[in-house]
Each structure stands twice: as structure tokens, then as C-alpha cells.
Amino acid sequence: MIPGLKFVKRNFPVFLGGLIIVFMLSGALFAPFLTNWNPLEVSSNYRLLSPSSIHLMGTDQLGRDIQSRILYGARTSMEVGFSVVLISTLSGVILGLVSGYYKKVGSVVMRVIDGFMAFPGIIVAIFMAAVWGPGKLNIIMALSFAYFSRMTRVVRGAVLPINELEFINSAKTAGAADRYILTRYILANILSPIIVQATFIFALAILDEAALSFLGVGIKAPEPSWGSMVSEAKTYMQVAPWTIVFPGGAIALAVLGLNLFGDGLRDMLDPRLRLKG
């Protein structure tokens, strides 16, 4: 069998999820070249037009082209997703490494993390967004604050068993600095769960950004956002179902792709799951 086809067959979820992610990223990056319509342009003469060769996904209640708003909304979702992953991963990895390596510090840190995880992430994000107000930066900070605890717990759980291994004790006996042990030995051996968890946080960030925008505490109008598009379309969904089907489908497709990619990576990178397969 051709090596490429063999990889696809053995790792189909990773391939399919990666294909969807590339598709979504391409739409976001090349949005100006994929549509001739301004996503903010309002026209009362083109209100609620059904999909056609001119407007491939139709128009909304203000006459704006839905395809262009979905493409530019993808930019918003990807920007929020990448930013949340970056912030939550950096903070979670640092706290997870420290709390897993220094057990006395870890007991205190994890009690705080347990307090955060007692509430669903979306509830924490809604509360923080309500306090800070709508806007892209505030949503990024709110979602990062909501989900860094997930990464912290995953990293600490991966550090604890490695911290008891013989080569770590040998490095400590040899006088290696803690920072060197944490970065050179421990962090290098726990990259797999970090990468997998980051893909799940990315999916959650896209989904929750849409939920916050739907509730009116997310991205400010008139900037395109999949969640705000769904929120605006709910009044017209019976007479113009395309106004809600296409943005809702974009959210579902993005989350599906990221979850497939994350699940597939977990199966590929976890040796215990590979042995079971």
C-alpha cells in the first residue's frame, strides 16, 4: 500500500480533522479573495435573499452577504481560538509544572484550580465577560481565564508520575538545576498531552465565543461573528432558514474538525491506546 494511503487509513480521524481545519483556516486567510462582498455592507434592497449564483449563501435581514460574513467571521473565531490556546497553554503549563514538581506548592495550587473547575468553563466565561464587557480582547481574556485550569490539571497529572522516575532522581542527585530538569526532562516528555489538550481548548474557545456572541456579551456588532449571526437569525429562521443554517453549520464543522483532530492525536501519541488498538 502507498505510504500516504496507509497513514490515512490508520489515522483517518487525524486526516479528516486536519483537512477540516485547513479548510477553515484557508477560508479565514483568503476571505478577501473568496468573496466580492463587503461583510458590513447593508442594503435594504437585498434583504433575506435565498441562496443564488450571486449570493451563494443568501443574505440576512439587513441585506448583508452571508458567505462573506461567515468567511470573515472565521477570522474572528480563529483569532480568538489561537489567542485563548496560547494564553491558557502558557499559564497552564507553568502552573502545572510547578505544582507537579513542588508537591507542597502543588497542594495549594490545586485547591485553587479545583475551585475554578467546580464551575463549567462557559459559566466562568459568561461571568467574566459580563464584568469586563463585550469585545474581542475581553472575550479572549475571559475564555483564557475559564480554561487555563484544564491545562494546569492535565500538565500536573502528566508531571507527577514522571517526577518519580529514576532518571529524574539521578538528575537531582547530580545537582541539576530545577529549571533545567523541568524544561529538559519533564516538559520534553509531556508534550503529547499538552498538544492534545490544546486542540480541545481551541474547539471549546470557538464554541464558547459563539455562545457568548449569541448571548450578546461577545464580539461587538457589526463585526462578523458566527454566534452573533445565529443570534440575529433566530427571528427569521422560519422564513429564511439559510440565515441560521450556514453560520450554525460553520460552528459545527469547526468544532467537529478540531475534536476529530484532537481525538486522533491522542490515539496516535498515547502508547497505551496504540497497544490496545
Per-residue confidence band for 84, with pLDDT thresholds at 50, 70 and 90: very high
For cell 545537582, name the residue: 175
- Rounded Cα distance, 122 and 24, in Å: 23
Cβ neighbours of 195 (radius 10 Å)? 14
Amino acid, res. 41: E
* Enclosing H/E stretch for 263: helix 242-269
User: Which range is least confidently modeled, 74-83, 122-131, 183-192?
Assistant: 122-131
Tens of pLDDT along 130-181? 788 778 888 898 889 888 888 999 999 888 888 888 888 888 888 888 888 8
